[in-house]
Amino acid sequence: MSEAKTKVKAVFGGAIPRLSFWNMFNMAIGFLGIQFAWSIQMGQMSGIYERLGATPSQVSWFWIAGPITGIIIQPIIGSLSDRTWCFLGRRRPYFLIGAILSSLALIAMPNSSALWMAASLLWIMDSSVNISMQPFRSLVADMAPEEQRGTAYSFQSFVIGLGSVLSFGLGGVVIFDWVQSKFGASGATFLDTIKPYCPTSLHALFYIGAAVFTLAILWTIFMTKEYPPADVEAFKAQKKNTFKVFGWVTDTWRSIVEMPDKMRKVCLMHSFTWFAYFCIFIFFSTMVAHNLFSAEPGTPAYDKGIAWASLCFLAMNVVCFVSAVAIGYLANYMRKKVLHGICLSIGAVALISMYFITTPLQAMIAMAAIGIPWAATQSLPYALLSDVVPKERYGVYMGTFNLFICLPQIVCAVLVGPVVTLLGGNRALALVMGGVSLIFAVIALRKVYEPKIHEQRARAAVGALATEGEAV
């Protein structure tokens, strides 16, 4: 590529130069920290709630913090970041604010002494993580040319898998006492080394999570340069007028009312997908403890079950980590909706099989299989969405898209716990419900619009010519 091409000035609505490997890596690495925090929550919060005395229905209700804060925070942050430009750029200021608040909540969480305290801190942490997370999705749409978006989003999927692998691997510290008692280990241990700073392994996990979150976000902030508006002064004047009338509220509402029909179909598919995942987040860990370890909260066997569930999540995310690379490669040669449908079908079979498993190893194998659709969900729906929404409104539409992640989670949190209780308390039933929901997602995916491969390549060629002409 000529030097002239590499110096093309990209703007919010203008030509965008191709990204290098390291551009995409640096842009995605902050998501490692975000996923590290989510993984700690995913693996530990249900167990924390049950240890503090929560019933199955209460556990699912407490998890409602995440989707509700997502509904409130993400569209607002998306709209605000569309209108932001300062010395940190457009999206990066929100990365930093969210990282600071989330890290403080992570440090406080393992010190919870009552249900109300743990639940309140989860609300704070989820709100803060959403402040950081939403602009990351929009950053890819801002910075990547159309033909590279699938690959750029797959980088996010890759680091999401990596963050989860590191988090659940670190969560192996939680099982140390079990290993020590089972095999009679003696002498100084890792827990002995960190005990002056972290009273328990749970404290260590949350404290290290706070550090990883902050450092990963800072990496992206310092290693990524955002493109300015074509006319900064005009942009600031428009922003000032918009804020006077709280335009971000009306902008978010308008984005819902005026949502393109093609986007609605992507949203429907994604809603069924996230209902399924929330069933996993809420019920898998406690299903393992109750069904496979025959344990109740407060017993050593229960802690073993929660620890084994963390290892199952680790297996899921190792597979996610690996398969994200393959999915990013295949997305260049296959229609993304077809690829996504195959991945979701694998997840449906794995979730339904949870009802029939009888050993911890079987649970790990099933969760490993779910790593494939999990990797696909972190990238392909966003690539599909970017094909059907206006470029200048990526931020607000990405925030609006999050509504259709959060709404099914709220439905799951409110209804699935009581249904499980009504049917005898077998938490595996919740996972079966998730598997059925993935089947509906595959059916809905058939109606999703996607340009054919040759159309995408034609667009890419036109964009390249435009970029070359502007460079000249």
Residue 3: the pLDDT is 38
Neighbours of 314 (CB within 10 A): 25
Residue 113: the pLDDT is 80
Q: What is the spatial distance between Cα 390 and Cα 380, in angstroms, rounded to a whole number?
A: 18
Q: What is the spatial distance between Cα 216 and Cα 51, in angstroms, rounded to a whole number?
A: 31
CATH classification number, 17-225+249-471, choose in 1.10.357.10, 1.20.1250.20, 1.10.3720.10, 3.40.800.10: 1.20.1250.20
Domain ranges for the chain: 17-225+249-471
Query: Rounded to two decimals, what is the model's pTM?
Result: 0.71
Instruction: Pick the closest to residue 263 from 150, 161, 396, 169 (CA basis).
Output: 396
Which parts of the chain have pLDDT scores under 50? 1-13, 176, 178-179, 183, 185-188, 243-245, 454, 456-472
Residue 434: the pLDDT is 95
Task: Give pLDDT tens digits for 38-93.
Answer: 888 887 888 888 888 887 778 888 888 778 887 777 777 877 777 777 777 778 88
